[in-house]
Structures are given as C-alpha cells and as structure tokens.
Structure 1
Amino acid sequence: MEDKGFGLYIHIPFCKKKCNYCDFISYINMEYFIPQYIETLKKEMDFYKDYCSKRKIRTIYIGGGTPTILQPEQLEHIIESALKTFRVYNELEISIEANPDSITKEKLHKLKNAGVNRLSIGLQAYQTHLLKNMGRIHSPGQFERAFLAAREEGFDNINVDLIFGLPGQTGEQWEETLKKVTALRPEHVSAYSLKIEEGTLLYDQYKSGIIKLPEEEKERGMYYFLIDFLTSRGYNHYEISNFAFPGKECRHNILYWKNKEYIGIGAASHSHFCKKRYHNEEDLEKYIEVFSLKNRPPIKDKESISKGLEISETIIMNLRLTAGLDKIEFFNRFGVDIKDLYRKEIELLENSRLIEETQTHIKLTKLGLDFANEVFVNFIP
C-alpha cells in the first residue's frame, strides 16, 4: 500500500529587505502584521486538522521570506502549534530557512528545543561585492558566526544555499566560495544557477544593460566544477542542484521530487493534497482578512489532478533525482509499466544519450543534466 505520509510547508513572508533576484512572495516593512499572521497560521492548521486526522506528517519545512526575522518565542509558538495540531511520524524532519544576519544564539536554542533538526542557511556567495550586488544584507563573517553558533547549539544537519552564474562572478571566486563552505563541513549544499525573473530589480538591471551575465559556457563550467568539487569531498549529488553527505538528503524536498502530497500553510503557500492542487491568497492583508471573516483558507486556482497529469508530473519530478525514476515504484503507484506509456519517447531519449535505463531505474545522463528541460517536455501530456 502506498505510504500516506505527507509534508507540511509553512510560509513566513516577511523580510528585512527584498533581494535583487527574488521573485518569491515576501514583504518588507510589514512586521506589524506578524502577530496577526501567526494567529492566522494557527487557524489554518486547525482548519486542516480534521482532514488529516488519520494521516501523519513526515516533514515540516518553514520557508520564506525570512522565517528567522521572527522573535524566538514566535518561532517556537508556530512549531509547537503544528506539533499539537497534526499527528507526526517519530522520525520527523523539521527544517527552517535562516538568513545569517537574523540568526541569534537565543533563536537557535529555541528552535532546537522546539524540535527543529535541519537548518538551511542562505549564504549565496563568499565575496562581499557579489553579496552587495545581489542585495544581500549579510557579510561572509556573519555567515561563519551563524554557522558556528548553530554547531555549538547542536545542529548536526545544516544546509548552505549557494548561487552561481552571478553577474561579474569569476571561476576563481566560485572555487573560493566552495572551498570556504566545505571547510565548515555542512551536511548539505544546494547550489543553483542564477535565474533572472521578470519583476525583480535584477531583471530591470539586466534589461537596461547595467549588468551582464556570464556566457553560457562559463556558467556550465561552474556547474561541472561544482559537481566534481563536492563529490570529491564526499557529497552525494542526489538531485540536479543538491548535494548531501549520505543520509542527510532533504527529506521534505524529496517528497516534492517524488510528487507526493503536501499542505501549504500561510499566504501564497501551495498545496498538493487529495488529488487537488491549489494555493492561498498571495496578498498578506487579504489572507488574514478572509480567514478572519470566513474561518477558512482563501484558496485560489484549485484544480483536480487527473491520473495522466499525475503520471506526467511524477516522471518529470523523479528525473530531477540523479538516481532517477524507480520503475517498480512507478508500477506499484500507477498499475502500469512506464514503457507501455512512453516507449517511443524513452527510446528516442536513450538514442540521444540524454537518459539511460538500468534494470530498475530510468535516469538522466551527464549530458541529460544539461538538457533536462528538453528531456522533460517529452513527458508532458
């Protein structure tokens, strides 16, 4: 029988400053809404309580925004509310995103006592001028102090977020960042190529010619170096952009990549639950107001997920994992052999050396990692 455990995502949309590249739903200078927002989060958790009474949570992920902009007691209160509201598995993973400038010893202590066992710190780069160009407000020194403080508090599962392909970034600077980060021995590293999204300050700077991105060949070179560097130091390259020591892979994100169910709590949060996909109202004030008046989530864009769409999305998301798609797992979930559905597409991609098939899995090749989107479109219904 399919595992019915699910994930819980809690969105904290407050920030001290909007980063130049960020297109996530977040708000600055609106901290006065935090108490009301926390109360609304609790109401939304209570709303889902009956729907989930016979099921358990496997993972909790608190993202943003900047969750650690909240006070220690507020963070503790949110986590305690979730644990009181939902049934959970014993081996529960609780992750929280943190910015170096908003991490304090008191917050770390409260988080650890509340049950947080995975910390994700947003460094992005080790060079001060690159951080400034991105609109980041922390320094490399603040990152190091925050990391070491987390270690002192007993956190033994820390992720560091990095970005490469930045305007003006050199290969030498990227190598320096990786060397300094791995010297600290974080259990997990997430490294993403910069994407310039419309509506961001970076997009406007790019369109006006103020900044230039590295050439594609140089950006790809940074990615190849990343893989070689981290794997040579014991990290398992388990997803296109993610690396971990064995056993320290992010279980919440694997839930996404396995196309399993999750509930999103908070403004703009997304859910995939009971064969439905939907998201909450993005506007912070409207999210709070609607819940106050109707005592239910202000859900938008709700759609049913057909079996065909679920199959397609499961293939695409599984292929992001370097282990690939487990053919037996796929058959047990859908009652059909994947090659009965996509035999021609699979053969074409194999002949193009973009995917390879083993007795148990179908996965991207090294070349396929570079052309992942071209692979994925073959499985869109």
Structure 2
Amino acid sequence: MLSFPTDGNLSLYLHIPFCTTCCSYCAFYSEPVDATKAYLQPYVDRLEKEIRACKAHLDRFFTIFIGGGNPGSLTADQLRRLLVAAKADASDEVTIEMNPETFDETYFSLFAEGLVTRLSMGIQSMDDPTLIRLGRNARREDNLRSIALARQARLQYGIELSFDLMVCLPGQTVDLAIADLHEILMLSESDHISLYCLTVEEGTELALQVGLGNTTVLDEDGQEDFLQKMWSELRRLGFEHYEVSNFCRNGKKSKHNQVYWRLDNYLGLGSSAASTLTEGSLARHYTQNQSLQEFALSQCFSGYEEEHVDANQQIEEYVMMALRTNAGIDKQVFAARYQKDFDCLFASAISSLDSSWYSDTIQFFVLTEYGFMVIDEILLRLALEIS
C-alpha cells in the first residue's frame, strides 16, 4: 500500500498505457492495444481496486486526470468503473485525454453523469502530410469529426475543452501552424490550448530518423522565431500565456496541471505512473515500474518504488516547476515552505542573468516570455546555487 498524506488536497493521475500505435515523437509509455487486448480488462480490474483502496482513506480527490497512451482505448463502461471508484463527481475538475480517432458519442454518458468535466484532445496538426510524418493514427477527417463532437459535448453538458497543438514540425511553416490554430478555435470555441514545440526524445522513431539524416528539425534560433510568432498570435486572440506550453482565456486554466506546477500532492496509479507526496519536511516520489502486462497480472500495489527526496532536491524541483508559470515564485511561500530566503539563496545566480529574462520584486520572481525561451539555462544557473 502506498503511504500518502491525508491532510489537505490530493489529486489523482491514472495512466492508461494502451494506444493504437506509438507516434514517432512520443516518449510516454504505451503499447499497441491490438497486441495487448488480453490484458486490458485485468488492467482495469487492478486499477479499480487500487483506486478504491486509496479512496477509502480520503474524502475526495481534488482533481483527477486520466491520460495515456490513449484512454479512448477503454470503453465508456470501463472508464466509468474507474471514475465511480474515485468518486469523480465530487472532484473540482476531472480531465480525460482522448485521441481523435477513438472519440465518439458513447463517451457522452461520462459527461452527462458529471464524471468528466474536461476533455483534452491531441490534435497536433490539421494537415494530413504533417500527421503522416508524425506517425499519427488520426487524419484531418478524424480531427474535424472529433472537434465537432467535442463542441457538441461542451454545448450539451458544459464541459471544458482543451486541444494540443505541436509546432516546429518537419516541413511545417508558421502560416500553416497559425491556420491550424484558427481552424481549431473556430470549430470548437475552446478556451484552452496546449502548444508544444517538437522535442526529439531519445529512443523514439523520430530520434532515429533525425540521426539517420532522413528528417530535419529546426535549430534553436528557428524554434525561437516560430514560437514567438505563435505566442504573439495567441496573445492577439485573447489567450493568457500562463505556463510555458499552456494558454487560456476566460480564466480556464487547468486545475490539475497547476497541481504539478505548484508541486502539490498527487497520486499516480497505473503502469509507469508517478507520484509526488509531501507531508511536512518529508517528501517522497513513487514510480510504477511494471509493464502493462506485469501490472495487469500482479498483486495490487506491487511494482511501486519509493524514493525519499532530500531538502535540496525539493527546492530544485519546486523552482523548476514554479518558474514554468507566469505566477513564478512567491518568495513568502518559498520561505514558509523551505525555511530559506529566496533572495539570499539565489542572489548570485540572478545577478548573472540577462535582465530581459525575468522580473524580480520584493515578493515575486517571475520569468518573462523571453525567459521562457531560455528557461533551461536559467534553471541550470539557479540549480548550481542550491547545493
């Protein structure tokens, strides 16, 4: 049994590691659902038991997020079992990811019952040649159909919508990416966009193709110019840039993702899921290291490995996450949380930064949009001061 704090809010992440096929850029753990169908029901059975065992110690989960893989590999009834076990109708926000090719009206019952309040859909591109290069299972026709269904669900049940877009893709122009953005917003009227710059992750098919010279990706200068134009267009459309890769209007921020960025407590269940659990000065990470096959056939709560997080690592993780947001670091909160003065700890590192990268006041240290562009460099300099 996992050991988690019972005071304060606790959020829940459920990992569904089944997918049609793996996209060329994807580094998240998943396996082809057609080859692993025999494990799908046992996987759901164990996950439900773990949820119920954890839920017995809690009044409710603050937020819930079901991700993958593709949760659309499960039926609405299977997802309902997990959500009912978690008493999702009592949570402040319940998000489910769906890939366009598997989303249909059978999932509307989850919205009607108040078990899901937010739908996050990975569109990535509206251009068929680009989707093919990415190894996506969906095509433009699938995207159009699923966006229309998502808008229908929003109008009928009042759920919130979020769409993922990828930019700096091989062969993609800024004009094409902006056209994708406009089309998605026009069709869906969504108030949330996650905009991701293509990252070449080690071990992916994309990394192999780049290494072989078969695929060319933008250099850092090209990516910076591309992102600046996309960010500017989102700002013009009324979106707040509230995290490096996330934009909202009308205050529709993701409550669950803010849990990660504040380094609040969250419990991750399922194959390859991770947890961060803190009580007082004691912080623990849990990682689930079983394959989906092992997870499905093993005893509940087996395969979760615990790691204690020391004080310096806690500070480093907090700074790394908080500076991804436009709220930045509240120095009073930092002092209360870690019994250290932010200005004293980081004065030397901050003095080495370009002044256009950040805003520093008595109460807050916040990165500018230009700082977001060079966040890795900033975090490296700050991290060197912690130890």
Query: TM-score by structure 1 length?
Result: 0.91
For residues 266 and 32 of structure 1, what CA distance do their matches in structure 2 show? 17
Partner of 2:359: 356
Aligned pair partner of 1:167 in 167, 170, 181:
170
For residues 81 and 369 of structure 1, what CA distance do their matches in structure 2 show? 39
Partner of 1:103: 103
Partner of 2:310: 306
Q: Is the 8 A contact 1:165 1:213 kept in 2?
A: yes
User: What is the Cα deviation at residue 236 of structure 1?
Assistant: 0.7
User: What is the Cα deviation at residue 308 of structure 1?
Assistant: 2.3
Aligned pair partner of 2:183 in 162, 180, 183:
180
2:250 maps to 1:246: yes
For 1:135, the aligned partner's letter is: G
Aligned pair partner of 1:203 in 207, 212, 217:
207
CA distances 1:100-142 after superposition (whole Å, capped 9, x unpaired):
1101111123344242111001100110100011111212232
What are the within-5 Å matches in structure 2 for residues 1-381 of structure 1?
4-28=8-32, 29=34, 30-49=36-55, 52-53=57-58, 56-83=60-87, 92-153=92-153, 154-184=157-187, 185-274=189-278, 275-291=283-299, 295-300=300-305, 302-349=306-353, 351-380=354-383, 381=387
For residues 235 and 356 of structure 2, what CA distance do their matches in structure 1 show? 23
User: What is the Cα deviation at residue 327 of structure 1?
Assistant: 1.7
For residues 328 and 56 of structure 1, what CA distance do their matches in structure 2 show? 29
Describe the SS at the equivalent of 1:102: coil
For residues 279 and 8 of structure 1, what CA distance do their matches in structure 2 show? 14
Change (3 A) 1:19 1:236: same
Q: Is the 8 A contact 1:316 1:379 kept in 2?
A: no
Q: Is the 8 A contact 1:72 1:111 kept in 2?
A: no
The alignment's C-alpha RMSD in Å is: 2.0
Partner of 2:3: none
The percentage of counterpart residues that share the same residue type is: 30
For 1:373, the aligned partner's letter is: D
Task: Name structure 2 gaps, 5 residues minimum.
Answer: 1-6
Task: Name structure 1 gaps, 5 residues minimum.
Answer: none
User: What is the Cα deviation at residue 347 of structure 1?
Assistant: 2.6
Q: Is the 8 A contact 1:61 1:94 kept in 2?
A: yes
Q: Is the 8 A contact 1:236 1:244 kept in 2?
A: yes
For residues 56 and 311 of structure 1, what CA distance do their matches in structure 2 show? 28
Describe the SS at the equivalent of 1:330: helix
Query: TM-score by structure 2 length?
Result: 0.90
For residues 198 and 49 of structure 2, what CA distance do their matches in structure 1 show? 36
Describe the SS at the equivalent of 1:4: coil
For residues 238 and 223 of structure 1, what CA distance do their matches in structure 2 show? 15
Describe the SS at the equivalent of 1:101: coil
Q: Is the 8 A contact 2:164 2:194 kept in 1?
A: yes
User: What is the Cα deviation at residue 219 of structure 1?
Assistant: 2.0
Q: Is the 8 A contact 2:48 2:82 kept in 1?
A: yes
For 1:326, the aligned partner's letter is: D
For residues 26 and 37 of structure 2, what CA distance do their matches in structure 1 show? 19
User: What is the Cα deviation at residue 166 of structure 1?
Assistant: 0.8
Q: Is the 8 A contact 1:108 1:150 kept in 2?
A: no
CA distances 1:300-347 after superposition (whole Å, capped 9, x unpaired):
3x2111222212211121000022111222223233321132222223
CA distances 1:50-69 after superposition (whole Å, capped 9, x unpaired):
5x43x642110000000012
User: What is the Cα deviation at residue 91 of structure 1?
Assistant: 5.5
Describe the SS at the equivalent of 1:278: strand
Q: Is the 8 A contact 1:75 1:111 kept in 2?
A: no
For 1:316, the aligned partner's letter is: M
Q: Is the 8 A contact 1:66 1:99 kept in 2?
A: yes
For 1:140, the aligned partner's letter is: R
User: What is the Cα deviation at residue 193 of structure 1?
Assistant: 0.7
For residues 111 and 81 of structure 2, what CA distance do their matches in structure 1 show? 10
